[in-house]
Structure formats: C-alpha cells, structure tokens
Amino acid sequence: MIDPKLFDDIAKRISNSVPAGLQLLQNDLQKNLRSAMEAGLSHLDLVTREEFEIQTAVLARTREKLEALSTQIAVLEKELQARKA
C-alpha cells in the first residue's frame, strides 16, 4: 500500500501553493485533496514494490527454465533425427 504520509505531503504542498487570500481554507483543502487522492488511487489496480520484485524474480526463473527446456528439446530432436538417418 502507498504510504499515507505521501498523501499528507502532497496535499500539504498543494494547499501551501494556494494564494494568501484563500489560506483560511488551507486545512479543508488539504483534507479534501488527501481524500480525493486516496479515493482515486484505490480504484487503480496497483501492487507494492515488493510484490512487483517478487513477480519479476519469478518471471526471470521461468525464462531460465524455458530456455533450458528449449535447449533440451533441440538436443533431443537432433538425436532423434540422427537415429532416423
């Protein structure tokens, strides 16, 4: 999950950029921005960095196995053709 402090930081930065005349609304704006960001991101199909790295490692191992099996099949096909000849 995304760190809630990140939402707070982004909302704070945006609310701090509000013109001086609207500074009274800063706290409300900050809360509303944070809620809007959380709601928007909750609808996305996101994974954590850890999950992504695990799946990347699984994919790498799968590719290695596939390459080994492809090589093994090629060797067996050559042996089979040599026996037929």
User: How far does Cα 62 stand from its chain's mean position?
Assistant: 20
Q: What is the pTM of this model?
A: 0.51
> Measured between alpha carbons, how far is residue 44 from residues 33, 39, 40, 47 in Å?
17, 9, 7, 9
Write the pLDDT tens digit of every residue in 60-77: 999 999 999 999 999 999
* Domain-wise residue ranges, the chain: 1-46, 47-85
Query: Residue 61's pLDDT is what?
Result: 98
Instruction: Tell me which long-range contacts 52-55 makes (C-beta under 8 A, separation of at least 24).
Output: none
Using only the alpha carbons of the chain, give its radius of gyration: 27
Residue found by looking up tokens 């982004």 in the block: 10
Query: Residue 53's pLDDT is what?
Result: 96
